[in-house]
């Protein structure tokens, strides 16, 4: 857990993180639509995810807002978790919210006994790749043409893994 303490430095920005539930569905959907995905999640899909007992969802809140400026959602299976999505609102990208959010979320997963965390990231998403590698994620595979693009094309995915235990 030393890696987590190092990443939760006081200079990581004035933001608070906390769990999300179905009351946040509409805001999570709106944020997901800002994520640059070919198809954003709808509020009903988000509500179903947030109600699922195998899902851990955290938000990052700027200032005193009750609405998340970003979120991360993972699905648990035994001692593993897969990060399904992480998004920070366009207006707050570069403010360190993604770092705070991911650090808190990984701490939550570790506290639930998760030993291995997986995710997939679009191969050309340099900002996300830097964030994940900063936390110690490493590439374990690639999927050619995995992600549909808004323009109808396809992009490759990099599969990454982080060992928490």
Domains and CATH numbers, the chain: 2-116 (3.40.630.30)
CB proximity list for 79: less than 8 A, separation 6 or greater:
113, 114, 115, 116, 165
Strand ranges inside 29-153, DSSP E: 55-62, 70-77, 80-88, 116-122, 138-148
* pLDDT score for 10: 35
Query: Side-chain half-sphere of 152: how many Cα atoms within 13 Å?
Result: 0
The pLDDT value recorded for residue 95 is 82
Which residue, among 70, 83, 76, 56, has the nearest Cα to 162 in the 3D structure? 83
Mean pLDDT of 136-155: 92
In the block, residue with structure tokens 């004035």: 14
pLDDT at 5 over 80: no
Q: How far apart are CA 132 and CA 109, in angstroms?
A: 15
**pLDDT at site 15:** 79
Q: pLDDT-based confidence at 8, cuts 50/70/90?
A: very low
Could you tell me what percent of the chain has a pLDDT over 70? 92
Rounded-to-integer distance, Cα 90 and Cα 70, Å: 9
pLDDT at 136: 97
pLDDT, tens digit, 9 for 90 and up, residues 91-138: 888 888 899 999 999 999 999 999 999 999 999 899 999 999 999 999
Helix (H) / strand (E) containing 159: strand 154-163
Q: Is the pLDDT of residue 163 over 50?
A: yes
pLDDT of residue 14: 62
């Amino acid at each position: 857990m030393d890696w987590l303490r190092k990443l939760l430095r006081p200079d990581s920005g004035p933001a608070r993180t906390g769990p999300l539930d179905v009351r946040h569905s509409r805001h999570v959907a709106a944020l997901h639509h800002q994520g640059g995905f070919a198809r954003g999640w709808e509020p009903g899909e988000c509500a179903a995810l947030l109600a699922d007992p195998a899902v851990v969802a955290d938000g990052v809140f700027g200032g005193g807002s009750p609405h998340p400026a970003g979120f991360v959602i993972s699905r648990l299976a035994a001692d593993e978790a897969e990060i399904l999505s992480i998004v920070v609102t366009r207006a707050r990208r570069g403010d360190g919210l993604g770092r705070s959010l991911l650090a808190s979320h990984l701490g939550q997963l570790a506290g639930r006994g998760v030993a291995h965390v997986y995710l997939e990231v679009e191969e050309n998403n340099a900002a996300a790749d830097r964030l994940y590698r900063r936390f110690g994620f490493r590439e374990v595979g690639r999927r050619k043409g995995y992600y549909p693009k808004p323009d109808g094309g396809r992009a490759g995915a990099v599969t990454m893994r982080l060992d928490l235990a």
